Amino acid sequence: MVVTVLAAAVSAWRCPFVSRADEVSDLKKSIEQKQQEIKDAQNQKKHLQSGLTDVKTIISELEQSKRDLAAYVTQLDANLSEIQDKIAGFKEMISQKEAEIVQTQAELDAAVAKEESQYENMKVRIKSMYERGDDFYFEAILNAKSFADMINRVDYVEKVSASDRRMLEEFRTTREYVEVCKAQLESEQELLEEAKKDVEAEETSLESLIAQKKTEIDAYEADISNREQLVREYEAELAAQDAEIKEMEKLAKTLQAQLEQANGQKKTYDGGMFAWPAPSYTRISDDYGMREEHPILKTAQMHNGVDMAAPGGSPILAAYNGTVVAAAYSSSMGNYIMIDHGDNLYTIYMHASKLYVSQGAEVVKGQKIAAVGTTGRSTGNHLHFGVRLNGSYVNPWNYLK
């Protein structure tokens, strides 16, 4: 008789998913795992705080290369790209943490529901024992200061059956699991907040470094005592740029000839209009053509492309189908891309913060190939867009609407 009653009570307690012994050990494993995850999150948070960019140190390190503008720009650009990578990493972490928080919240909700149902079952069970006159339960209930206290009292009564002990153990483990879920949720949220704060801090560092670069380039160009040297440097820079580009064109021609021989296909430009290469642009900050006399250098200069001011990080698109013949860095062009469209027509994209394609890639009109930036000889976020035909620069407006 007693056995039947107990068996009925026990079956009412049984979790529908797993047998009881497994459930407790599974929960204990989850608790351990979550405690480890909480520790990891706390370490990660400390690591985040210590890894923030120290702009002051960067700027003082840059001091040493100030006299050589090309070296200064190259070093500063490396710092810029490091900060941008950090920002990208933080943003990835933010979306990852947000997903984890959703998951932990769901685990917590499920655990709380389970705890409640176990609690209800426990009350039923104790009530039935009480009604049957089992005085140890009666004692336990009468003398308990709280529910937790009662559970403990029941646990220590020798007469409590093994199955009742397991029920208690299960309930207690669930409660512990609920607490750990709450702690984990809290630590994930703290990490998320830290990552959000760090993105802001890094973005501030990025801005101040970009401002520093502008100041430095402006000061360099305003230095009258350097005028002749500046003119020579400027011309040498442009000549070096031209030589680099001509080299690319030569290479592209050789590759094309090889391809033509291999499969008999000749790359040709069909005369179509270009896609606008910087869709987020806000204005044309400098147009193609002869510039007015440079206020400092006192020389009339040819601007060989169209400058489109656009927010840093906004997309740069391939103007037309073609093959990437260069995706590289130089201290004057910054991160740049050159695309071969066939029939000796090329487009060039300069000063990018990030390149998304590499040399040899086939791209289609409108494809995202890079992000706007201010690398190289540039004093603000913009795309310098150039078009070359038969070995010299031509007006990009001929191809843009």
Q: Which residues bind Zn ion (CB under 5 A)?
A: 307, 384
**Smaller CB distance to Zn ion: residue 125 or 384?**
384
Residue 207 Cβ, how far from Zn ion at the closest point, in Å? 21
264 vs 295, which CB is nearer to Zn ion?
295
Nearest approach, Cβ of 230 to Zn ion (angstroms)? 17
Q: Is 37 left (phi over 0), alpha (psi -120 to 50) or beta?
A: alpha
Q: Cβ 401 to Zn ion, closest distance in Å?
A: 20
The identity of residue 116, as a single letter, is E
| Least distance in angstroms from the C-beta of 297 to Zn ion | 15
Query: What kind and span of H or E run contains 41?
Result: helix 20-50
* Strand partners for 389: 345, 392
**What tokens were used for 53?**
């960019």
Residue with smaller CB distance to Zn ion, 23 or 307 = 307
Q: Closer CB to Zn ion, residue 216 or residue 307?
A: 307
CA distance linking residue 43 with residue 148, whole number of Å = 33
Considering beta carbons, is residue 104 or 332 the nearer one to Zn ion? Answer: 332
Tell the smallest beta-carbon distance from residue 302 to Zn ion (Å): 11
Token pair in block for residue 128: 């039935």
SS3 of 208, please? helix
Q: How far apart are CA 66 and CA 233, in angstroms?
A: 15
- SS3 state of residue 377: coil
Considering beta carbons, is residue 104 or 330 the nearer one to Zn ion? 330
End-to-end CA separation in angstroms for the chain: 93
Minimum distance of Zn ion from residue 269's CB (angstroms): 23
